[in-house]
Structure formats: structure tokens, C-alpha cells
Amino acid sequence: MIIVLLGTTAVHQTMVAAYLYLNKINEVDFGRIEGYGDITLDDEGAPILIGADEAGNQVYTMGIGGNIEIGYRAITEFLQVMSVPVDTMLVYPVRMPGETIIWLIAKISRIPWGVGSVLNLNITKLIINRCIDSIHSTTEDLRLQVENRLGTGQQ
Amino acid sequence: MKVIYHCFGGSHSSVTAAAIHLGILPPHSVPDTHQLLSLPYYDKTPGNEYGKIRFVGVSSDGHQVYVLGKENLGDRMNEIFYEIGRLLDLDNEFVAVNTMPSVNIFMMLGGYLSRRLGLARLGRPILVFGTRLAFPRLVEQVKATQINMT
């Protein structure tokens, strides 16, 4: 199964959630999250492959901008329209307080002389650290959903 | 193949394009008010339908045509569909078309008055005027889509 974690960007809270889900980190250690905050990875809007879980499910992150609710619903509808079996792809929105601020900071991260980059990394880390409980809950819920999907294989 | 026409509200330009694609509206004559208001979903979508892909019909050549209101997702909606489609190896099985480039200020104003503010009596004449004005561009978009699909 393909797991896509959706967020305002593919390189902040979604990436942290993916690393936690894959047990690549136990606590948030941004230094070990390869590509964290690297907005150039997010430029194309393409999903970023983070790794595979024990069951071989590939985990991607994808940034869809500020309107996650509508984007998530549209993707879910799209999968139904295209008759994609439920155990083929799981799209999971990573929601947290401050996600819009993270998105806005990602937008201004191109401010020159390194200022944008410093703002991007420091402020987003601060926001994510404050919301880490919410991201942990997200990954726990994601594990349950993956188990359910693979267990039933039904819509 | 499946065709998804999408615009901000999924009520006007996407619905008109879908109707052109399905042959409900003939491409060579600009539709009148009655024709437009009789279209399925035209100026009828409630706000909670954003993000829902609605089936409109099957074209004479067997393609399923859908409409979607994607709010402010803009061109990103196409990217999202194609990226997801690529992951699933489905990118040759659908076409997503953003009809917003055909939308004019009258459609925006009329649509806002009618759908957002609920002032259909005031908004609809402006909306219909705008849709008639945009019709040739929508026809071109649909033709280009149909050519791409062959």
C-alpha cells in the first residue's frame, strides 16, 4: 500500500509525522530528518518518498498548500472515481495548530541572505515542538488506519 | 477515460464546460439564459460540496465527465491529481482541466452574489451574462481537451 501524508508542506509536520511513523526517530530530532524544511524539495508539489514501514508500505509526504480540507476531500473523491482499491492507497491529512503559519513561513523562506531559511527552520521547529503531542497522536491513529485497511481490504 | 473539469465553486465554468463536452450545449451557438439555468448543477452547488467530484454524464465516445469545486486550490489541483495518478500509474486514465482561465469578472461577481451571498436574483443575470461572454473560451478549452484525449 502507498501511504501519503498530506499537509500544508511536504517538508515540515508531514515529514516529522512520517519519520515518527516509520520509527526512524523516537523523539523529535530535527537533525536526523533528512530534508526537513528544505522547501526546494516541495517546489514541484510532487510527493516525497520517506521510506517503507515493516509491512513494505511506502510512505510519502505531500504538500498541498493552505486548503488541506478541500484538497484531502478531492483526493479521496478522486480515488473513488478512479475505483482505486482501498488497500492500494491511504491518504492521511496531518493536521495541527499552526499549520497555516508553517505554510506562510515556507512561502517567505526565499528571503535572501539566509534570513528566510533561518526563519523557516527556527520558527517551524518551535511550532512543531509545541504541537508534538498532536503529531504523536496522528501517527498512532495512522498506524490503526493502516492496520484496518490491510486487515479488511474493503472500502 | 474520465474527465474532471474543475473551477472555484464547481457551479459555473466547470459545469458549462462539462455540458459542452457532453453535447448538452452545442459549441457553435452561445446558450441563452434558460439553457444555462437548466444545466445540471449550474448555479446550484451548496458550499459544503467543495472537494466533491460530481458525475455529470457520459460523452458520445464513452468518456465519463465530472465536475469539481476546488475553492482556492487553483492550478495546484491539477498537480495534485496528476501526482497522485502517477503514484498509482493512472495518469493515462484521466484528464483534469482547470476552467478558471476562462472565467471573467462578471462570472466571479455574479457567482459570488448568487452562491456566497444567496442573492440569486441579483447575481444570476450578471452570471449568465458572464458565462455567455466566456462561452467561446470554454468551447476552446473543451476542444483542446478532447483533442488531447484522442
What pLDDT score does B47 carry?
A: 66
Domain with A48 in it: 2-152
| Residue A92 sits at the chain B interface (C-beta within 8 Å) | no
What pLDDT score does A33 carry?
A: 87
What is the arithmetic mean of pLDDT over B120-143? 96
What pLDDT score does A152 carry?
A: 54
What pLDDT score does A112 carry?
A: 82
What pairing do the DSSP bridges indicate for beta strands B64-69 and B53-58?
Answer: antiparallel
What is the arithmetic mean of pLDDT over B38-67? 91
Residues linked to residue B7 through DSSP beta bridges, in sequence order = B69
| Residue A45 sits at the chain B interface (C-beta within 8 Å) | yes
What is the arithmetic mean of pLDDT over A131-147? 92
What is the arithmetic mean of pLDDT over B116-137? 94
Facing B51 at nearest CB: one of A46, A47, A74: A74
pLDDT digits (tens, 9 = 90+) for A20-61: 999 877 777 777 888 898 888 887 779 999 999 999 999 999
The span from the CA of A59 to the CA of A152, in Å, is 20
Interface test with A, best of B50, B58, B87 (most A CBs within 10 A): B87
What is the arithmetic mean of pLDDT over B97-110? 96
| Residue A100 sits at the chain B interface (C-beta within 8 Å) | no
Residue A153 has pLDDT above 80, yes or no: no
Between chains, do A67 and B87 touch, taking CB under 8 Å as contact?
Answer: no
pLDDT, chain A, mean: 89
Interfacial A residues in 120-149 facing B (CB < 8 Å) = none
What is the arithmetic mean of pLDDT over B14-39? 96
Least confident residue range of A79-93, A101-115, B69-83: A101-115
The span from the CA of B103 to the CA of B67, in Å, is 15
Q: Which pairs count as long-range contacts for B90-94, CB under 8 Å and 24+ apart, including other chains? A: B90/A82, B90/A84, B93/A82, B93/B1, B93/B2, B94/A81, B94/A82, B94/B1, B94/B2, B94/B3, B94/B4
Q: Predicted ipTM?
A: 0.92
Q: Which residues on B lie below 8 Å from A78 (Cβ)?
A: 4, 53, 81, 84
Residue B21 has pLDDT above 90, yes or no: yes
Residue B117 has pLDDT above 70, yes or no: yes
Facing A71 at nearest CB: one of B52, B80, B85: B80
Percent of chain B with pLDDT over 90: 86
What is the arithmetic mean of pLDDT over A128-141? 91
What pLDDT score does A23 carry?
A: 84
Q: What is the DSSP letter of B93?
A: S
What total number of domains does chain A contain?
1
Residue B67 has pLDDT above 90, yes or no: yes
Residue A154 has pLDDT above 50, yes or no: no
What pLDDT score does B69 carry?
A: 94
pLDDT, chain B, mean: 94
What is the arithmetic mean of pLDDT over A76-105? 94
Residues linked to residue B55 through DSSP beta bridges, in sequence order = B66
Interface of B with A (CB under 8 A): 2, 4, 50-53, 66, 68, 70-73, 76-77, 79-81, 83-85, 87-88, 90, 93-94
Q: What is the DSSP letter of B50?
A: T
Residue B131 has pLDDT above 60, yes or no: yes
The span from the CA of A118 to the CA of A100, in Å, is 18
The span from the CA of A65 to the CA of A90, in Å, is 19
pTM (two decimals) = 0.91
